[in-house]
Amino acid sequence: MEYRELGISGVKISVVTFGAWAIGGFMWGGTDDAAAINAIHKAIDLGITGIDTAPAYGDGHSERVVGRAIVNRRDKVQILTKFGLERDSKEGTFFFETLDTDGKPVKTYYNARKKRVIAECEESLKRLGTDYIDLYQHHWPDPGTPIEETFEAVDRLLKDGKIRAAGVSNYSPQQMDAARKIVPLASAQPPYSMVKRGAEGDVLPYCIKNRIDVVVYSPLQRGLLTGKIKADRKFPNTDDRSGDAFFKPENLKRVHEFLGKIRPIADAHKATLAQMVINWTIQRPGITAALVGARNPKQVEENAGATNFKLTGEEVKQIDKLLEDLKLEV
């Protein structure tokens, strides 16, 4: 496993980092805590030391599961969590509504006011069972709160030793400029995959120029690029993929055709499609690490195996050429 430092923070994470969204159950149709804990233990054993979570993933459930999993293992991991979203807020700005794991409507709000950020950090520390967070990231920009106010709170947390480094998620370059006036940014976390490469337009060039490390999320496009989801797959209404345009039958069909064309490259490395996609991702210019979700130890083993080989320059060119011809309706 390879490890890379986030900015000049001193925080190093594994290039394949454990994404803990799914284990929270929220928008993923349920979870199995025992399997999730075993998955985290397997990840640590295999050198995947970065664990990315957030309070929004199941109203704190993902953080609680991570906290249980790292008992007596805190010194072996780097905890990346987030702030700035809450349920049923009395002062926040409405973000979206979805269904909870029990099928009940849940409203999520932006709230990155200074007082809330300080309080939310304490709540996360308690759920995680630790006295510091390695990387604290603003989950989504809050249209109701000036970025400067939000990062004044982050600056206080840094000075108090509650967090080791600060990052942002889903931020534009202009928003990162505002945050950097208050505190150094160690990282940015945009969505990025073979089929969703908008970050290449502005975020990645900005981060490269300003020495901000990039930890991308959804590199497998929520399972789409594993080749395991068939065109007739039906998702429950508690799984957000049920309404995701990437999972429309026509897109599933086109992606399967594309994956069939690149499968021989994976076979040449004795790798799975998912491993090849992850390997391609962590080789992209400006990308430091990829967050890859797992619900059980078997999935973790597959993810970790993505670092056991390296695609050649010619193979990357072949994949990129085929991607140019892949047209999805999203």
* Catalytic positions: 57
User: Do residues 74 and 128 make contact, with C-beta atoms less than 8 angstroms apart?
Assistant: no
- Give the number of other CB atoms < 10 A from CB of residue 282: 20
Q: How far apart are CA 141 and CA 147, in angstroms?
A: 8
**Pure H helices in 181-312:** 203-209, 249-268, 273-282, 297-304
Q: How far apart are CA 181 and CA 226, in angstroms?
A: 40
Strands (E), 88-195: 93-99, 105-110, 133-138, 163-169, 187-189
Strands (E), the chain: 3-5, 12-14, 16-19, 50-52, 78-83, 85-87, 93-99, 105-110, 133-138, 163-169, 187-189, 213-216, 287-293
Q: Is residue 31 packed enough to be buried (19+ CB in 10 Å), middle (13-18) or exposed (0-12)?
A: buried
Q: Region of 175 please: left (phi>0), alpha (psi -120 to 50) or beta.
A: alpha
Q: How far apart are CA 42 and CA 64, in angstroms?
A: 18
Q: How far apart are CA 83 and CA 290, in angstroms?
A: 20
Instruction: Tell me the residue type at 291.
Output: L
Q: How far apart are CA 174 and CA 172, in angstroms?
A: 5
DSSP state of 217: B
